[in-house]
Structure formats: C-alpha cells, structure tokens
Amino acid sequence: MSPAITMGGFVALYIFLLAGFTGWVVIGGVPAILHTPLMSGSNFVHGIVVVGGLFALINATTTTERIFGTVAVVLGAGNAAGGYAVTSRMLAMFQESKHKQPAHAGAAHGTAHMTAPHSQRVKKTGGAK
C-alpha cells in the first residue's frame, strides 16, 4: 500500500472548509495599509502550484505530458519567485523602524525611515473599513 495520500471526497471537503475558514479569519482584521502587500503575499502563497507542476512533470511518460508539465513548472516557479520578490520589497519598507519613535512633525531628518505604527494606530486603521 502506497503512503501517497488518498482521500475521499468528504475528507477533501473538510480540508477545503477548514482552509477556507482559516483564510477568511487570517485576513479579517488586516489594516488598509497592508492590502496591497497582502494581496501580493497571498499571490505568492498560491505559487505552491509549482509543486503540483513538479509532480506532473517528474511523472510524465509522454511528450505531451512533458510539454505541459514543463509549462506548469515554469509558470508556477514564476508565480512563486516573482511573488516573493515583489512582496518582500513592499514589506521591507515596514522594517528598520521597530526601535524608532514616530518622527515628530517638523523634525526634518533626511533619512526618515518608515516608522512602525504604535498599536493604537493599527487598531484605528483596522476599524476604518
């Protein structure tokens, strides 16, 4: 008996149900400032499709399967790698500032990195929707 996972339709439905609920809840309280990075981040996550592509390609027996398998891997890898690059660039701008106080109005310091919002601000934006 193979350890490859086999599952009936109902087990699959349970998985879909719980995963869907998880996705809904995880995104639920997100502040508006993170909408773009988060869309990009979830775009990265479905890049996992590359794993399915690898499975299809490695098990290919005909040329047709091989061609579409290769296309799947190229596109899936593009989804994952591109998604990662773009998301990490966007999110990097929220970094570097955890130990910094928000800049005071009028303080004209040239470097002016992004300042991390204090918790109150996060709550405010979250409730703004």
Partner 1 sequence: MIAMIPQLVINATGIVAAFLFMYGLKRMSSPVTAPSGIFVAGVGMLAAVLASFLYALAANAETRPYVALNTGLAAVALLIGGGIAFWSGRKAKMTSMPQMVALYNGMGGGAAGSIAAVELLGHRAHGFSSLIVTLLGALIGAVSLSGSLIAWAKLESILKKPARIPGQQFLNAAVLLATLALGGYIVFVSKGGETPLVDAPRWIGLFFGGALILGILMTLPIGGADMPVVISVYNAATGLAVGLEGFVLGNPALMIAGMVVGAAGTLLTVLMAKAMNRSVAAVLFAKFGPGGGKKTKGAPPGSLKPVDASDAGIFMRYAKSVIIVPGYGLAVAQAEGKLYDFVKLLQAAGVSVKFAIHPVAGRMPGQMDVLLAEAGVPYDLIFQLDDINDEFKDTDVALVIGANDVVNPAARTDKTSPIFGMPILNADKAKKVYVIKRGQGKGYAGIVNGLFYEPNCNMVYGDAQAELVKMIEAVRGLGAHAAA
Residue ranges in 48-87 that form contacts with partner 1 under rule CB under 8 A: 48-62, 64-66, 68-87
What is the per-residue DSSP string for 17-81? HHHHHHHHHHHHT--GGGHHHHHHHHHHHGGGHHHHHHHHHHT--SHHHHHHHHHHHHHHHHHHH
Count of residues that bind partner 1 according to CB under 8 A? 103
Judge contact between 86 and 32, C-beta under 8 A: no
12 binds partner 1 (CB under 8 A): yes
| Nearest distance from C-beta of residue 18 to partner 1, angstroms | 8
Residue ranges in 97-116 that form contacts with partner 1 under rule CB under 8 A: 98, 102-103, 105-106, 108, 111-116
123 binds partner 1 (CB under 8 A): no
